[in-house]
């Protein structure tokens, strides 16, 4: 065991002589015989879990109650206190992937052909693609719908990227103070709220209450229109608290920019669905 501990060279950076408890060059801690016992695995697991749990709980509390405070403090350097927006977004997507109470982002072939602003322009291309595949529409549609449902969750990362470009354009005067990275982090938080709260937690809780108390009328209220309106209203309220101190200008200018963001959200969703269409068709052509 002694040959594992007794070293005069730092195993991390190669500095020597490594005679102190910590390497004076890189800060690597010098191992002792206790670090080679099986119990160290348990200690590392508990330590890592508690550190993650504390930062996650701190993040969740501020993410839901004071979203602007969360992002601004993280960008100011509070990296131990909170988990990063990208990690939060990944966790939210993982939760949504496992517990998708509503398929907000799923866009069936019928919807792509008939219910979107660009449908009349893409209909001919889609029908030509189906004809070239050698399948009939009734055969092609179920295969497309099954694949696009999976890809719709995998491609959610596109949404915050599109939204961050929109906020960056609206903040022309503040580009030097707020680079694109800042806009991406704010958009990741907004998207995390969308998929975690509005697509999983709230509708899931609503369904559980309806089933548990056997209130049939509650489920009848859930339609595509009512769901879309509710999601947009709550998302806009959350977006206001997230972005209200982000944009430059007086109160009137800030309010105008928030309204523009609300209006921009709809075409951004349609852009995401158009990208999803081509990715799904491309996947079926090259990997199907």
Q: What is the DSSP string of 154-213?
A: HGGGHHHHHHHHHHHHHTGGGTTTS-HHHHHHHHHHHHHHIIIIIIIIHHHHHHHHHHHT
List the one residue out of 288, 101, 267, 132 whose CA is nearest residue 195.
Answer: 101
Predicted pLDDT of residue 214: 75
d(CA 101, CA 277): 22
Q: What pLDDT is stored for residue 131 in this prediction? A: 93
Q: Is the dihedral of CA 130, 134, 137, 142 positive or negative?
A: negative
Q: What is the pLDDT of residue 193?
A: 94
Number of H helices, E strands in the chain: 13, 0
Q: What is the pLDDT of residues 81-124, one digit of tens each?
A: 888 999 899 989 888 888 777 766 778 999 999 988 999 999 99
pLDDT at 39: 65
Those residues whose C-beta lies under 8 Å from the C-beta of residue 276, and which sit 6 or more positions away, are 105, 107, 148, 151, 152, 155
Q: What does pLDDT average to in each consecutive run of 10 residues of the chain (288 residues)?
A: 58 79 80 66 55 76 92 86 90 85 80 91 94 93 93 87 86 70 92 90 83 74 72 85 80 77 82 93 90
Q: Are 88 and 59 in contact (CB under 8 A)?
A: yes
Of 188, 186, 157, 158, the residue nearest 171 (C-alpha): 186
C-alpha distances in Å from residue 228, one per residue of 129, 198, 225, 266: 30, 10, 5, 10
């Amino acid at each position: 065991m002694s040959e594992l501990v007794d070293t005069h060279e730092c195993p991390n950076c190669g500095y020597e002589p490594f005679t102190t408890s910590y390497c004076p060059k890189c800060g690597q801690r010098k191992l002792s015989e206790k670090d080679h016992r099986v119990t160290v695995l348990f200690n590392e697991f508990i330590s890592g879990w508690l550190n993650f749990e504390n930062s996650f709980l701190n993040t969740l509390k501020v993410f839901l109650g004071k979203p602007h405070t969360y992002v601004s403090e993280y960008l100011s350097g509070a990296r131990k206190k909170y988990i990063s927006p990208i990690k939060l977004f990944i966790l939210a997507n993982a939760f949504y992937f496992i517990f998708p109470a509503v398929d907000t982002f799923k866009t069936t072939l019928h919807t792509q052909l008939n219910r979107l602003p660009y449908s009349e322009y893409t209909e001919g291309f889609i029908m030509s693609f189906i004809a070239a595949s050698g399948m009939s529409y009734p055969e092609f549609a179920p295969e497309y719908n099954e694949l696009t449902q999976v890809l719709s969750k995998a491609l959610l990362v596109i949404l915050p990227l599109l939204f961050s470009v929109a906020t960056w354009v609206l903040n022309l005067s503040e580009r030097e103070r707020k680079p694109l990275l800042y806009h991406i982090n704010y958009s990741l938080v907004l998207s995390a709220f969308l998929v975690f709260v509005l697509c999983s937690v709230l509708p899931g809780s609503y369904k559980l209450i309806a089933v548990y108390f056997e209130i049939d009328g509650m489920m009848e209220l859930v339609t595509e229109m009512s769901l879309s309106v509710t999601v947009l209203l709550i998302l806009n309220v959350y977006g206001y608290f997230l972005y209200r101190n982000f944009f430059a200008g007086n109160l009137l200018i800030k309010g105008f920019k928030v309204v523009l963001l609300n209006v921009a959200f709809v075409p951004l969703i349609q852009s995401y669905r158009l990208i999803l269409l081509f990715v799904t068709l491309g996947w079926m052509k090259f990997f199907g």
